[in-house]
Structure 1
Amino acid sequence: MKRMILLCVALFSIATAKAQFGVGGGTTKVTVTGRISALILDSVTKKPVDYASASLIRVKDNKSVNGGLTDEKGKISIQNVSPDQYKLSIGFVGYKNKTVLVKTTPEKPDLNAGTIYLSPSSNDLQEVQITGQKALVENKIDKLVYNAEQDVTIAGGTAGDVMRKVPMLSVDMDGNVSLRGSSQVRVLINGKPSGTMANSVADALKMIPAEQIKSIEVITSPSAKYDAEGSGGIINIITKKKTAQGVNGSVNASAGTRQNNGTFSLNAKQGRLGFTSNVGVQYAIPQDTRISILNQNIAQNTILTQDGYTKAKRWGYNGSVGADYDFNNYNSFSTNIKFNKFENGSDGSLNVISTAPAGTTNYERITKNEGSMSNVDWSADYRRTTKKEGEELAISGQASFGRNTNDFNTRNVFATLPTVTILGNNTGKNNEYTAQGDYTYPFSKTVILETGLKGVFRTIESKYQNTNQNFDYDQNVGAAYGVLSFKVAKATSVKGGLRAEYTDISGVAGSSLNFKNDYFNLFPSVIVSQALSQMTSLKLSYNRRMQRPSLFYLNPFLDDSDPENQRRGNPALSPELTDLMELSYSTYIKGSVINASVYYRNTKDVIESVFTPAQKLTTYFNVGTSKSYGSNVFASYNPLPKWTLMGNFSINSYEVINPDTQVSTGVYANYTAFMRSAIAFTGGWNTEVFGVYNGKRRSFQGTSGAMAFYGAALKKDIMKKKATVGINVFNIFARDLHIENKNSSPSFVQSTNVYYPIRSFGLNFSYNFGKINYNAQPKKKKITNDDLKQGEQQQGGQMGGQGK
């Protein structure tokens, strides 16, 4: 705990010092900044020229410092302009470029350049080819970026629909995401954790309209700057930041036989002050799901079967409100509040047949489950830059408050015996506080140092009211990191770092079980990137990661909603430690993309579920060491300019070895495949078809069944491309998706067959209003908490009080 206190003191000291002083230790003079505005008109018609580009060029060094686009009234306002003399250059297709001299002073930082007339060009352009547009897929030194805003087929979809198209990712029919075959991934929004994601990734992805997504970053080998998450990696969803002067927003709605969503966003900016807001709702139409369960205890010669139907329901809402203010060119502040609530449940009836040497028993099990998850996140971020380009200090704070409930009522109705009723009520609270400081210093354009400190303080309470027992859990994490990026040759870049984390854990379960644990770990990382040509690169990386178990795995209280398949957590679990080595190759050939990677992953103290037939209980243990080899290949090809073909294939081995006995589960292969074809037609029509196949997945005691599904969509731009309408279909030739999960050993067999109702038809509509003028804005630093191993099947129905 002493190390934790020292770390917090150091973090406060750096925050205080950097907020007051520059790098050299002297007082930094705050420079007043202003804005330059103008009205751009056609010299002949005297009508506004909208979407004309404006570039502000400093006269003394001829360097472009800012810019923007005109709005529908021809107005342009360029913010954060330091006092100096500039050239304001205006240009637009079909007009001659025009440049005017402007000057601002500390006494008069704001300047209205008046009306500027553009003269039509003497040449009529019949066809214009725009260059410089971002590629759909970009490969950077530490991540792969899918630029969703360049994909014209995503309108009317959700974040889950977009992720199905991202290299190395796969999304199952419930919306659960895996990266290169691993479901142990951390999903962030704008670099920050979300209470919505912590409770249910699948539900959260359904709440994010595809039109709000700018890009998705896939980080398979996170640097030491990131929290020490485990083997899977990090997925970061970057949303579009509305920075236009005035008011703009969007409306999105989809309705269908399976899922219904609606979202609304409204944004406003005036001068240096901006506001953003959004709200979304979702409702899933309840449908019958058939379930067939077999439990066979070979040692005791007993067989129990359960066969019947459940009807699941799910609805929820989420939203956020944020504000940001640029004090001047060097200091800015932003704050944001996110809120969400999801409710889910199921009603079911199962016919149960129990066969034993003593005879056969037949009865009906009637179940009713209700659960809710709510969360509020508040964050505040201060950012300070200097005249040295690339130097930055960021101080961030975040507070999260989560509340979960899970109630169940199970009745076993016998023909001749009294009815047996089992009740359960679990409530949980999860409060989390985070303080973080990050500092970036560029020694030169090619040598950059990143360093920072972070403290995370979690308090979790979980209570079962029917037993009147509490599970109180405290986890405090302190971290410090340093990352250095540099070039060793013109075509060779290196990014290496080291992260140190100290974890202090204490907890009380009921009145008899107390536990305490603390550990200190170092996490090195290094990435070497070699440019083989302008469009081809080779990358080699190594890092060490960790996954601490969340409350889903730790909560020791018994969930006996199904007495034949009970579940409880294990507070004695140790964290997983993973070493990952990866070699990847990327190339771009005439618009086509190929990205291929091979990797080796070694994970110690793997956490997996273990079923004990004698107790009819599933719990969690550190089952051993996993050694996995894997490969991923992604390709995108354009047979025609408006026709895109995409494919992704991932395969990895599975093997767990007991470190004491050296007994192995054997080596198995897990694999996934994805194919997509998209065509854009004239007149604003777009269509696509896709198919996904996830092969059978091996686990410690058994397998999770394979699944295959497919879909198609047709969309049309309307209202001068401000809106789209579309239809989509999903698995139209089969109502149900059959998945079989099976655990087995020489002494037992446990099999669950689920028939999900998957066939669906839907309509969608999206509409954007206002003008979107993306002026250059400084990038805000954000808090990221991505250090916990999340629970299995996070789509809902978990124990209350799950931690993040």
Structure 2
Amino acid sequence: MRLSKLLSALTLLLFSFSGIAQMAKVTVSGKIYEKSTNTPLEYATIVLKNVDKPEIVTGGVTDEQGNFSLDVVKGTYNISYEFISLKTLTVNNKVIENDTNLGTVFLEPDVSQLQEVVLVADVSTVEFKLDKRVYNVGQDMMVKGGTMSDVLNNVPSVTVDPDGTVALRGNENVRILIDGRPSGLAGINIADALKLLPADSVEKVEVITNPSARYDAEGGGGIINIVLRKGKGQGINGSVIASVGDPEAYGLSANINYRSDSFNLFSNFGYNYRNSPGNSSTDSEYFNEDGTTRNYIYESRTNQRLNRTFNANYGIDLFLTKSASWTHALTFSKESGANPDNVFYNNYDANFNPTFVRNRLNDEISKEYSIEYSSVFTKDFEKEDHKLTANVAFSKNQDNESSIIYDQILGDPSSYFTDVTLNNQSQLRNLLQADYVLPIGKDSRFEAGYRGNFQKNLTDFNVNDDSVFTNLLEYKENVNALYTQYGSKINKFSYFFGLRWEDSNIEVNSITSNDYNTKKYNNFFPTATFNYELNDDSNLTLSYSKRINRPRGRFLNPFSSYSSNINIFQGNPDLNPSYTNVLDLGYLRKWDKITFNTSLYVNMTDDTFQFIRKESGNFVTTNVDGVNVQTPVIISTPINLAKEYRAGFEMNANYSPYKWWRLNGNFNLYRVENQGDYTYTDFQGNEVVQNFDNIATTWFTRLTSKVTLPYNVDWQTNVTYRAPQNTAQGRTLDMTSVNLSFSKDILKDKGSLALNVSDLFNTRKRRSYIDLDNVSSFSTFQWRERQITLAFTYRFNKKKERENNQRRDDGGGEEMMGTP
């Protein structure tokens, strides 16, 4: 009841914004294309200057399809169209009294500009649209010399845990795509891959909280699409970035592009060496059956993560005709690393008197490589927006890890022993996809498409050839999908309906234990979006979708970790997929200096994943002074719970109070309710029923401030706060982190120097309590300590983009109709 009242009140609050009176305006729209290739220009600039009132200047930039749409006061205008390395086209004394479509404008190459660095096309760091938010990485000094994980940690609505887990609006069931598709570049473990791939290869990140039927139904929390850099300027252009950091880190990356009338060559490559020290601790108190204290174990851990990574991406766009293009790309990544994981177990008796200290050193080395080939064919028909796209992608990934584990009680040489572990993982992925778009009339559109995603993973985990912990796991996933969508616009109201059908064939085969599981199912996933333009500067949208979250990787593998032999993580091969129904009510409002976006959302998930801890029935026996001390082995594993209800309110805002100061804020308040019981049989044959009903309300906020200081020095500060949250078995405490960056353009704007400090106060640590009947513990975890990085960027024949206060159309049109 309280939740429904809260939602009703917030809904009324959103509608109240629409009452502000607005000046009568008309809409000016059109397209900007490159003449030589007949391709749309993204981020081309259009500027309208009022002839009679020179102080009235309106501007914006085009979207991915070259479209623009601006609201202007009636009058006579001089109009200019501009883009990097192309001649500026100017139309003078254009009378605009009604809604006007300026048609398609073609810009020609301007070879004389290739040797200059001129400020032409400006984009905002964060753009709010009706169906997604776009974060332009090129404007963010914070990520220079960093990784993709650093990029995502700066994106509104997105958080990255200290262990690398990505969440959208606090929901970890998020689908991460690269260039719009599952990619072999991301490797087998997406969280680990994001920590290694360089930020400099990323152009922008798209956050889609409620995707249309065109997208995969995977990801109950939404989709994050990482778009890699690909040059668009005519001739040869590109940039080189060199970085150095403390703790020890070195990086060198470059992106080079050559474009002609008939083809476009593009490339990104880089080498990085990083030392990322981290630490964690777990203080545990163990209880007897009567509730009295039995003993204490305080576990402290340090990691020394050393990684050497080389990545390369090469491709070519072939402009076959003015209406057809064919893109080929090859991506390769190779990584070698070492991670000495040193653990000390400080043991105490019931009175907290020290008894002994046990040391366990996990000396791990790893080697990984991935390779992917993709091909995309695009055909534009005569009718505007009539398009056919087909693509294929093939990838292979191999990740080999080996460890020698040294274990002993300090001061007792006879207790010394070693374990040897191997964890070899391979992945093969094939992707087939076709999308067709057919405009119908002036304001309607039909879409249809197919996607086939075929994946095979093999995990070979081995401990001393011991059958208890050794396992060979085979995972096969074949998903075929068909979708169709239709949308139309009637005056200020528009709608878009979609339906996706996915046929899933999943095999989880534990070959060592001769346990074979096959799961076949097919589902319909409906989507619907309704949009209403309240006035020229505000929109209201309501959307619905059904999503799926399939368990993968370490969630399914029965044995995937042995760095600690008393706290062991195990996957669960019997996990079923979870299904989520998503409802989202969004409001977008624009003022001269502010863009304001809010949403109310509700997620209802069946069979949601929940991590539990329980006794395994096994004990680690340690002989101390002739006495055997037994420590129970605690298992952490995921299970399916019955229900999860998640409801929240989110607010995003861009505010530019002055030309030299820009603010971006994100706030998310949400309530999570879990309902479900878990039943298992303990090692004594007793049936144990655990109730996981839990209600938790929490919030997080992020504020980014960018200030231009004297001498054109840019200063950027990022502050993130995550509030505490109750869990089914304990509580996670709050966490605050601060990032700082300074940047200065040099060499006549051809170069830039950036100094970044990630986690300025070294406070980005996850802290949590867990309380079970037999053990109570407090844990802290810090994946990476404070990092300081100095990066130098040099651009050749490439214009530097800056953010300005030009307003652009953030809603309506294709975005509201669900185009990715």
Matches within 5 A, 1:155-554: 159-172=148-161, 176-199=165-188, 201=190, 204-205=193-194, 213-258=202-247, 259-287=249-277, 289=279, 291-294=281-284, 296-299=286-289, 301-354=294-347, 360-414=355-409, 415-416=411-412, 417-465=414-462, 466-467=465-466, 469-487=471-489, 489-509=490-510, 510-554=512-556
Counterpart of 1:552 in 2: which secondary structure? helix
Q: For residues 309 and 156 of structure 1, what CA distance do their matches in structure 2 show?
A: 24
Instruction: Measure, in 2, the Cα distance between the counterparts of 1:694 and 1:749.
Output: 24
Note closer, same or farther for the CA distance 1:427–1:773 as it changes in structure 2 (3 Å cut): same
Deviations 1:108-148 (A, max 9, x none): xxxxxxxxxxxxxxxxxxxx9x9x96555444342222345
**Counterpart code for 2:394:** A
- C-alpha change, 1:407 and 1:739, in structure 2 (3 Å) is same
Give the alignment partner of residue 696 of structure 2, picking from 661, 665, 668.
Answer: 668
Shift of 1:697: 4.0
Distance 1:62 1:695 in 2: 50
Deviation digits for residues 506-563 of structure 1, max 9, x if unmatched?
A: 2431252111110111111111111111111111111110011112211123533311
Aligned pairs for 1:649-668 within 5 A: 649-658=667-676, 663=691, 665-668=693-696
2:706, 2:717 within 8 Å by CA — same for their partners in 1?
yes
Q: Quote how far apart the aligned CAs of 1:313 are.
A: 2.4
State how far apart, in whole Å, the 2-side matches of 1:525 and 1:379 are. Answer: 29
Distance 2:113 2:762 in 1: 52
Distance 1:228 1:298 in 2: 47
Q: 1:475 to 1:372 in 2, by over 3 A?
A: same
Secondary structure at the residue paired with 1:574? coil
C-alpha contact 1:299 1:748 (8 A) present in aligned 2: no
2:744 to 707, 710, 716: 716
1:72 maps to 112
Would the aligned equivalents of 2:450 and 2:482 in 1 still touch at CA under 8 Å?
yes
* 1:740 and 2:767 matched: yes
Letter in 2 for 1:269: R
Q: What CA distance in whole angstroms lies between the structure 2 residues aligned with 1:153 and 1:426?
A: 34
Q: Aligned to 1:419, what secondary structure does the other structure show?
A: strand
Please name the residue that 2:88 is paired with. 53
Q: Percent identity?
A: 26
Partner of 2:791: 764
Q: CA deviation at 1:618?
A: 1.7
Letter paired with 1:394 = T
Deviation string, structure 1 residues 208-244 (Cα, Å, up to 9, x no partner): 6666554332100001111112222112233443133
Equivalent in 638, 644, 650 of residue 632 of structure 1 = 650
Equivalence for 1:559 = 561
- Normalising by the residue count of structure 2, what TM-score does the alignment of the two structures yield? 0.75
Paired position in structure 2 for 1:105: none
**In 2, Cα distance between equivalents of 1:194 and 1:670:** 33
- Which residue number in structure 2 is paired with residue 728 of structure 1? 756
Offset from partner CA, 1:743-762 (integer Å, 9 cap, x none): 22233324322356633332
Q: Which runs of 5+ in 1 are unaligned?
A: 1-32, 37-48, 77-92, 94-127, 775-804
TM-superposed CA distance for 1:355, in Å, is 5.4
- Distance in 1 (CA, whole Å) between partners of 2:304 and 2:145 is 27
Contact 1:242–1:772 (Cα < 8 Å) also in 2: no
Sort the Cα spacing of 1:373 and 1:630 in 2 relative to 1 into closer, same or farther, 3 A: farther
1:751 to 1:296, Cα distance in 2 relative to 1, 3 A: farther
d(CA) in 2 for partners of 1:662 and 1:530? 47
Q: How does 1:22-171 map to 2 (within 5 A)?
A: 52-54=87-89, 63-72=103-112, 134-149=123-138, 159-171=148-160
Q: Which amino acid in the other structure matches residue 502 of structure 1?
A: D
**1:543 to 1:772, Cα distance in 2 relative to 1, 3 A:** same
Aligned-residue offset at 1:55: 8.0
Deviating more after overlay: 175-184 vs 476-485: 175-184
Q: CA deviation at 1:444?
A: 2.2
CA gap of 1:590–1:172, structure 2 versus 1, over 3 A, is: farther
Letter aligned with residue 535 of structure 1: D
Q: How does 1:592-603 map to 2 (within 5 A)?
A: 592-603=594-605
Distance 1:157 1:653, change over 3 A: same
Once residues 797 and 197 of structure 2 are traced to their aligned partners in structure 1, the CA distance between those partners, rounded to angstroms, is 20
Q: Establish whether residue 584 from structure 1 lines up as the match of residue 602 from structure 2.
A: no
One-letter code aligned to 1:497 = G
Structure 2 distance, partners of 1:309, 1:215, is 34
Structure 2 distance, partners of 1:390, 1:471, is 46
Q: Measured at CA, do residues 499 and 422 of structure 1 come closer, stay the same or move farther in structure 2, by a change above 3 Å?
A: same
How far apart are 1:731 and its partner, in Å? 4.3
SS in 2 for 1:72: helix
Taking a change above 3 Å as real, the CA distance of residues 577 and 170 of structure 1, as seen in their structure-2 partners, is same
Indicate how the Cα distance of structure 1 residues 73 and 530 shifts in structure 2: closer, same or farther if over 3 A, else same: closer
Q: After superposition, give the CA deviation of every residue in 1:258-282 in whole Å (9 maximum; x if it has no partner).
A: 3443211121123212211111222
Assess if the C-alpha contact under 8 Å between 1:218 and 1:236 holds in 2: yes
Distance apart, 1:742 and its partner CA: 2.9
Q: Secondary structure of 1:532's match?
A: strand
Deviation at 1:190, TM superposition (A): 2.3
Could you say if the C-alpha distance between residues 299 and 403 of structure 1 is closer, same or farther in structure 2, counting changes exceeding 3 Å? Answer: farther
CA 1:161–1:53 in structure 2 vs 1: closer, same or farther (change >3 Å)? farther
Q: Are 1:56 and 1:67, in contact at CA under 8 Å, matched by a contact in 2?
A: no
Q: Are the aligned partners of 2:142 and 2:739 in contact in 1 as well (CA < 8 Å)?
A: no
Q: Determine which of 581, 586, 610 is the counterpart of 2:612.
A: 610
Query: How far is the alpha carbon of 1:161 from its aligned partner?
Result: 5.0
Q: What corresponds to 1:693 in structure 2?
A: 721
Q: CA deviation at 1:771?
A: 4.2
CA spacing shift, 1:170–1:309, aligned 2, 3 Å: closer
C-alpha distance in 1 between matches for 2:563 and 2:141: 46
Using the alignment, how far apart are the partners of 2:206 and 2:244 within structure 1?
A: 29
On the 8 A contact 1:293/1:753 being kept in 2, the answer is no
Assess if the C-alpha contact under 8 Å between 2:272 and 2:308 holds in 1.
yes
Q: Could you tell me whether the CA contact under 8 Å between 1:142 and 1:527 is conserved in 2?
A: no
Of the three residues 778, 783, 791, the one matched with 1:751 is: 778
- The one-letter amino acid of 2:446's match is L
Q: 1:387 to 1:681 in 2, by over 3 A?
A: same
Q: Distance in 2 between matches of 1:566 and 1:257?
A: 32
Question: 1:180-201 CA deviation, whole Å, 9 max, x = no partner?
Answer: 1123322323213333434455
Give CA deviations for 1:473-510 in whole Å, capped at 9, x if unaligned.
222111110111211x3111211101011111224312
Q: Secondary structure at the match of 1:389?
A: coil
